[in-house]
Every structure is written in C-alpha cells, then in structure tokens.
C-alpha cells in the first residue's frame, strides 16, 4: 500500500505481521515489522496475561473468563475488573446483556425531574429523585444529569 502525502508510512502485509517503512527526520529510511499475531502462552506469569486472555476470548462470558483465570491459570482478577475491560475487545455497537439499562423503567422520569432542577448539586438531585420515588445513586445522577 503506497502512502499519501498526509500519511508518510508505507505498509505491507507479510504473513502475520505488517511491515512499515518511512523516512525519519534525518532522511534515513526506517523499516519495522509489527506483529499482529501473538501466542498468549508466551505471557503466562506476566501482569498483562489476564488482559490478553480477555482479548483472545470475546466469545466467553465474564464469569467463564473469571473461572478460567482463577482455577486454570491461577490468576486472581475480580469479575468487575473483567467486565470493565471486555468492551475494549468487542466490535462497536456490542451490547453486554449484563449491563443494567433502565432496570426499573424510571430512567425517563429521572431525567425529566433532573431537567427541572439544573441548578442543584448531584447529591441534592439524588435526594429529589428519591423523594419522587426514583432511587438513583449520586454517581448515576452525575453521569446522566446532562442528557
């Protein structure tokens, strides 16, 4: 693939890697190979091993990844840690069914109430919501108050 004026890096696929070539600031041509395939087993015992397992196994649930890491690999990571990182390796638009979206059906009402009191603090907004029968945490209010 030839480079454009805006992108001076030339790329060429070679097996499991991509070869990049460019001219550096001193006029020298530089070529580097970027590996696109790794063997996760090469990283057993490293701090990044758990993250690589998450990346390589998007077909598994968070609980299944947790079970593998804990009982097979001997790596302790919380399910929360796994869930927070799974989205990094999922295609755009993927919906994780474990994320609670409007579980009680009161999100629209909560947003309506919050729009009525734009000057209130997050803590006070959470209290107003609770008084109106919509229980939401301060963190939820902080995230959703500007919607």
Q: What is the pTM of this model?
A: 0.53
pLDDT at 79: 87
Look at 93 and 75; give whichever has higher pLDDT.
75
Q: What is the pLDDT of residues 32-72, one digit of tens each?
A: 888 888 899 999 999 999 999 999 998 888 889 999 999 88
pLDDT at 5 over 60: no
Identify the weakest region by mean pLDDT among 6-10, 63-67, 100-104. 6-10
pLDDT for 96 equals 61
Q: What is 87-140 written as a DSSP string? A: GGGSPTT---TTS-SSTTS-HHHHHHHHHH-TTS-HHHHHHHHHHTT----HHH
Angle at 90 between CA 84 and CA 94, to 5 degrees: 95
Burial class (CB in 10 A: 0-12, 13-18, 19+), 86: buried
Q: Quick check: 4 pLDDT over 50?
A: no
């Amino acid at each position: 693939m030839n480079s454009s004026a805006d992108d001076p890096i030339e790329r060429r696929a070679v097996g499991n890697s991509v070869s990049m070539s460019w001219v550096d600031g001193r006029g020298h041509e530089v070529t580097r190979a970027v590996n696109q395939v790794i063997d996760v087993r090469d990283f057993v015992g490293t701090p990044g091993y758990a993250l690589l397992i998450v990346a390589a196994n998007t077909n598994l649930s968070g609980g299944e990844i947790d079970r593998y890491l804990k009982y097979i690999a001997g790596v302790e990571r919380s399910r929360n840690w796994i869930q927070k990182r799974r989205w990094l390796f999922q295609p755009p638009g993927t919906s994780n069914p474990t994320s609670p979206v409007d579980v009680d059906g009161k999100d629209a009402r909560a947003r309506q109430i919050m729009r009525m009191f734009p000057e209130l603090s997050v803590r006070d907004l959470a209290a107003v919501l609770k008084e109106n029968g919509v229980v939401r945490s301060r963190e939820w209010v902080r995230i959703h108050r500007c919607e």
